[in-house]
Amino acid sequence: MAGTPDAGLAASEWRLPTQPSDSPHDRRGGIPHRPGRDRLYTREGERELVAAYVSGLNGCRYCHGVHTATAEWLGIESGAAASLLDGGDTGAIPDKMRPVLNFAKKLTRRADGVTQSDVDAVFAIGWNETAVYHPVAVVALFNYMNRLVEGLGIELNPAYAQTAAKRLADRGYRPLIEMMRRPFETTGKSE
């Protein structure tokens, strides 16, 4: 961070909400979105593209495969995630997603690697605070999940990728969350 205009600023000093108030889940008020921003949220497919990209950067074949397929089910152009990783033609990546993906890459590579100028680049292209919050949450989740999956040695069956992707695209993450709760419900323990 040395040499950047925002060097030395702690993340808590950035212009970021702890929870965006334009979120349907926010019940506390929070920071209002910036007027004039033409898109408040990243779309599901765009968040899945971030998940696939982060997973690819982390070398997690399982998550990269499933979330690349999910992004494509949700309208992201086929091959977009692969082009980000192989340094090839990134023409399939909308200009509006480029600063978001750069932000995600920097945060994946180093937890302290994102600066205010990276946040400002997201704002400059027309996104609001929620579009910064989403990739932070996705990067955090997938850095955790990639390590869990790789640490447990879970491997991708390519035939399963499309099944899982269609389920995620159709029903979202709710069934997965409910499935993860079952072991605690059946044992009565939540340690």
- pLDDT given for residue 90 in this prediction: 73
At residue 185, the pLDDT reads 61
* CA separation for the pair 132, 107 (Å, rounded): 11
**pLDDT (0 to 100) of residue 183:** 64
| Residue with the two structure tokens 């945060």 | 107
Examine residue 16 and state whether it is found in any structural domain, yes or no: no
Range of the domain at 149: 39-187
Q: What is the CATH number of the domain that holds 62?
A: 1.20.1290.10
Establish if 22 belongs to a structural domain. no
- As for how many domains the chain has, the answer is 1
Residue 179: predicted pLDDT: 75
CA distance 87 to 141: 24
Regions of the chain where pLDDT drops below 50 = 1-40
Q: In terms of pTM, does the model score above 0.85?
A: no
Alpha-carbon 38 to chain mean position? 20
CA distance 123 to 16: 11
The predicted pLDDT at position 187 comes to 52
**Looking at the domain assignment, is residue 1 inside a domain?**
no
pLDDT at position 22 = 43
The burial class, CB within 10 Å (0-12 / 13-18 / 19+), for 29 is exposed
Tens of pLDDT, residue by residue over 74-118, are 999 999 988 899 876 677 888 889 999 999 999 999 999 999 999
Residue 17 belongs to a domain:
no
Q: Which residue has the tokens 């400059």?
A: 124
Please give the pLDDT value at position 17: 38
Compute how many other C-beta atoms are within 10 angstroms of the C-beta atom of residue 110.
Answer: 9
* Residue 49 domain flag: yes
Let me know if residue 13 belongs to a domain. Answer: no
Q: Is residue 24 part of a domain?
A: no
